[in-house]
Amino acid sequence: MSISVGYYPGCSGSGTSVEYDKSTRAVCKKLGIELNEIDDWSCCGSTPAHTVDHTLSAALSARNLVLAAKQGQEEVVTPCPSCLANLRTASRKIEDENYRPKVEALLDEPCDEAASVASTLQLIVERVGMDAIKKAVVKPLKDLNVACYYGCIMNRPPELMQFDDPENPMAMDDIMEACGATVLPFPLKVECCGAAAGMPKKDIVTELSGRLLDVAESLNTEIIVTACPLCQMNLDLRQGQVNRANGTRYDIPVVYFTQLLGLALGLSAEEVGLSKLVVDPTPRLRFAGVL
């Protein structure tokens, strides 16, 4: 099997979520997926752009889709759900003949050639598949209780995302199970963690992320598995803030699904960037015999 696609890492991949980018690249390589980074990609505009103007947001994203197409990539994958939502929305606006001229006016370039977009999670689930993953596992994650947290926008709105179930997604659950982990039924899978409110409205994050950690703790979760840089940051980096605000003492590691998948596939702690996490997962992983 050989899969070759364009790759859009997103801005957080070179800052707050370097370990997600690193483990994604390593896992894809291991699974026979060739990721071709879009040369000279720029920011998709994230949340701020669409809160200012929809065409501005579409143009910032479209620049990357057009670049990818010019570089011969018909398909682009991204690990980040927020980039995914923006790129997909832009791609839809470009397909709309009435809307396309507005995007072209800001981009100052024709947009008729634009790559299609999916998440790396979707690519792994749909194109690699669970059987192949099971076969490739060399270090099963047995004796590890994980809760998979998808965040709000990986699968929503369903009409735009066209992947997995919007209320009860299973993609990461299935991957973790294929790796041998025990997957807990996490009822807050798609609840919001507080998103980008961290800097301007910290109390919102401590409330919402606090709820997530609370439920995870009550399920005896040993590790929370995520697919979103913002979710990961709110739950991991801000776990101390949550504890201080709510008088709690959580100490739950929050890892990217690609990090655990990578370890199961035989990659080293270094290759999946484990040391970048704030709440250290190594004691639990060692106890479970994964490290």
Closest of 127, 111, 119, 55 to residue 85, by C-alpha: 119
DSSP-derived letter for residue 180 is T
106 contacts another protein (rule: CB under 8 A): yes
Nearby residues of 251 by Cβ (< 8 Å), 6 or more positions away: 239, 279
Give SS3 for 151: coil
CA distance 85 to 70: 22
Structural contact between residues 237 and 19, judged by C-beta atoms closer than 8 angstroms = no
**By rule CB under 8 A, what string of x and - marks binding of each residue 206-245 to another protein?**
-xx----------------------------xx-xx----
* Sole binder of another protein in the list 1, 2, 97, 108 (CB under 8 A): 108
Binding piece for another protein, criterion CB under 8 A, among 42-50, 136-144, 217-225, 282-290: 42-50
Phi, psi of 58, rounded to the nearest 5 degrees: -65, -40
Task: Please report how close the Cβ of residue 231 comes to another protein at its closest, in angstroms.
Answer: 11
**By rule CB under 8 A, what string of x and - marks binding of each residue 126-165 to another protein?**
--------------------------xx--xxx-------
CA distance 117 to 77: 6
CB nearer to another protein: pick between 7 and 41: 41
User: Which residues of this chain interact with another protein, rule CB under 8 A?
Assistant: 11-12, 14-16, 18, 40-43, 45-56, 59-60, 63, 105-108, 152-153, 156-158, 166-167, 190-192, 194-204, 207-208, 237-238, 240-241, 275-276, 278
